[in-house]
Amino acid sequence: MNLNDGQTDWTLIAAICLPIIVGASFIVIIIHHRKTRTPEETQTRLHVLPHVHKALQPLLNNGADVNLCDKAGVSRLHQACQKGSDSTVELLLNNGADVNLCTEKGDSPLYIACQEGHDITVQLLLNNGAEVNLCKETGASPLYIACQEGHYSTVQLLLNNGADVNLCKKTGASPLYIACQNGHDSTMEFLLNNGADVNLCEKTGASPLYIACQEGHDSTVQFLLNNGADVNLCQETGASPLYIACQNGHDSSVQLLLNSRAKNNGAEVNLCKKTGASPLYIACHNGHDRTVQLLLENGTDVNFCQETGASPLYIACQKAHDSTLQLLLNKGADVNLCKETGASPLYIACHYGYYSTVQLLLNNGAEVNLCDKTGVSPLYIVCQEGHNNVVQLLLNNGADVNLRKETGASPLYIACQEGHDSTVQLLLNNGADVNLCKDTGASPLYIACQNGHDSTVQL
C-alpha cells in the first residue's frame, strides 16, 4: 500500500481496523480522497489518524515518517504523550520515534507528559532514553513543570531518575520556587528532602519564602521556616518576606514570620525596602488594620519614615484609612511628623478634603497652622481645593485665616484665584483681610479680575 506516490497527496479521512483474521493479519479498510497539495501543506498520516492504535502499525510498515512534525514542531509522539496514550507511545518508540525531539518552543515529549501528569508515559519515555533535564526555551525543565502543576508522583519519578532538583528557568525560578508559589506543599516537602536549595532565589532576588509569603500560603511558609529558609532574605528592591506579606495583608503569614523572631535570625520587623518603606508603612498604605496591629504588638517603630520623610501616619492620612490612623495614634505616633517638604499629616488630609481624617487629627493634637517649607498652611491648601466643610472645621479649630505663604499669598487670595466663591464668602465671614496682598502687590480682587471670576469680584 503506497500512501504517497511523490506527486499526489492521499489525505486519510478514516482508518478502520476490523479484527477479521485472515491467516495471521488484519484487514485494514482505508477510506481516502485524492487532493494535490504542496509539500509545505503535507502532513503525516499519523496526525490525521483517529486514535486507533492498531491502524498505526500498517502505516509505519508502509514507510510513514514517524518523526514528521507539523508547523509548530509537534510530532505524533508529542500528541500521544499529551493524551497519555501509553500503547501508542510505546508503538511509536519501538518504531524509531525520536524520544527527545522538541517542538518549536522546546517542549520535549517528556516535558509534555510531565505537564499532564501521565506517569506511565513518563516512565516509558525515561526507559527509552528521554533526557530528564532537557529544558524548553524558557529554561523550564520537566521537573519544573511537574512542580508547577503539583503532580507529586511525577516529581517523585523524575527525581528518582536523575532530575536536577535545582535546575532553574531563565528567570532563575527553581522547581522549589514554583511549587511554593502555587502552594503545592507535598511537592515542596519532597523537593526539600531531595536536596532543593531552600534559599535559591530567582533573578529579582525573590526566594521561595518570599513568594510563599506573597501568595499567603501559610502552611508553605511554616514548612520553609522549619527547613532553614532565611526569613530576612530580601528581593532586589529590598522587600523582605515580612514586607510582602504585610503589603498583601496576609496576617497569618505575618504572624508566622514574627513568631520566628523567638528563634535566632528571626524576622526584622523594621527591615525596609530601598525606598525606606517599612512593613508598617506598606500595611498602613493599604489599610490592613489587623496587620498593623500585629506589627505594633511586636515592636515596630511607629514613626519610622521612608526616604521622602513620609511616616506610617502620613500615608494612612493620605489614603484616608481612619481606623488605621487611630491604631497608630493609640501607639504614640507623632501626629505632627512632617515629610521632607514640610507637609504634615494634617496638610495631606486637607489637600484631599478628608473631613473625618482631619477631624481625627485635630482631636489628637495636630497643629492647625503647621506649614510646609513654602509656607503653605493646611487652611491655604484646603482653600485652594475648595473643600468648604474642611475650611470651616479648620477655622473652628483656630486656623489663622490670614496666614500667608512665602510669596505673600493668603488663603483668601488663592480662593479668589481659583474662583471658589463659597470658600471666599466663608473666609470673609471669618475675618479674612480683603486687602492682604502678595509680595508682588497683587490683591485678592486683582487676581479674581485677572482670571475673570466675576461672581468672586462681586463678593
Tell me: the pLDDT tens digits for 40-58? 443 444 444 444 455 565 6
End-to-end CA distance of the chain: 102
Strand, helix or coil at 58?
helix
CA atoms of 376 and 154, how far apart (whole Å): 66
CA atoms of 377 and 374, how far apart (whole Å): 9
272, three cell numbers:
525596609
CA atoms of 436 and 442, how far apart (whole Å): 9
Nearest to 229 by CA among 247, 216, 242: 242
Radius of gyration of the chain (CA): 36
pLDDT tens-place string over residues 242-254: 999 999 999 999 9
Q: What is the pLDDT of residue 452?
A: 72
Q: Which residues pair with 33 in a beta bridge?
A: 11
pLDDT in tens, the chain (459 residues): 333 444 333 333 333 333 332 223 333 333 333 344 443 443 444 444 444 455 565 656 555 666 877 889 898 999 999 999 898 999 899 888 899 989 999 999 999 999 999 999 999 999 999 999 999 999 999 999 999 999 999 999 999 999 999 999 999 999 999 999 999 999 999 999 999 999 999 999 999 999 999 999 999 999 999 999 999 999 999 999 999 999 999 999 999 999 986 565 679 999 999 999 999 999 999 999 999 999 999 999 999 999 999 999 999 999 999 999 999 999 999 999 999 999 999 999 999 999 999 999 999 999 999 999 999 999 999 999 999 999 999 999 999 999 999 999 999 999 999 999 999 999 999 999 999 888 888 888 888 787 777 676 676
Strand, helix or coil at 17?
strand
pTM equals 0.84
Could you give phi then psi for residue 174, rounded to 5 degrees? Answer: -90, 165
Beta strands in 310-407 (DSSP E): none
Query: Which amino acid type is present at position 407?
Result: T
Q: What is the pLDDT of residue 438?
A: 85
